[in-house]
Amino acid sequence: MSELTFDFTGRTALITGAASGVGLATAHLFLEAGARVALLDLKQEQLALAKVELGPDVVLCAADVTRSADVDAAVATTEAAFGGLDILVNSAGIAGDSLRTLDVTDAEWERVMAINSTGTFYCMRAALRGMVDRGYGRIVNVASVAGKEGNPMAGAYSASKAAVIGMTKSVGKDVAGTGVLVNCVTPAPIDTPMVRGLSDEHVAYMLSRVPMGRLATVEEAAQLIAYLSSDGMTFSTGAAFDLSGGRLTY
């Protein structure tokens, strides 16, 4: 795959859900491009393995994105370590169980919404305080095609990702003119541990909707995230950028 070249020298980034999947791939790309990177994830053992893989200079933030105090502490740790925070990538998320609407429990609905949508809000709010004060920032939220179209057997997930898209549009307008840009990506299924954990029926349905007939790769997702996080992104905010193999064309 032909890759774009980025220069993040002097920039600092906090990536959530960074111990695996899209978050880990994005961390690799950012580090290769010269950024200083902090990794946020709930899974401490996987975070430690990620640091071995990425190198000793990354900062680890073991945190639960559904707890605002954890998120605030992670942002404070990142800013103290690097002298500020320029880029936030919200890639923490779960698919939830593949269930028909009548089988979704209160607890399952609340779990998916808390991680995918409330967690994204907490992270944006915490990062924006310093970004707005410093007059610079890039926030990229990982949403999903499900947030635009809705997937069957995935009511909570689809709703949570629609919320991410809505928050992106709102917050992007809130801070327009401050030097902070807020955008999201809306990928079709990506070859990650989260997708591999779905039922075969669910994955087959999703692939049937993708004209290119395959899963996206984490590297492809990281490339788009890097562009939206770069200084080359100057005049888009509150937007959703598709990565869907032809599924979404609007």
Active site amino acids: 157
Q: Evaluate whether 238 touches 183 at the Cβ level (below 8 Å).
A: yes
Residue 109's identity, in one-letter code, is W
CA dihedral 93, 94, 99, 105 (to 10 degrees): -80
Question: SS3 for 97?
Answer: coil
Q: What is the rounded CA–CA span in Å between residue 2 and residue 14?
A: 26
Q: Which of 215, 191, 239, 222 is nearest to 13 (CA)?
A: 222
Residue 239's identity, in one-letter code, is A
Q: Which of 164, 206, 213 is nearest to 186 (CA)?
A: 164
**Strand pairing partners for 240?**
184
Q: Which of 13, 39, 1 is nearest to 228 (CA)?
A: 13
Q: What is the rounded CA–CA span in Å between residue 113 and residue 97?
A: 13
What lies within 8 Å, CB to CB, of 219 at 6+ separation is: 1, 3, 25, 29
Q: What is the rounded CA–CA span in Å between residue 109 and residue 246?
A: 30
Q: What is the rounded CA–CA span in Å between residue 248 and residue 250?
A: 6
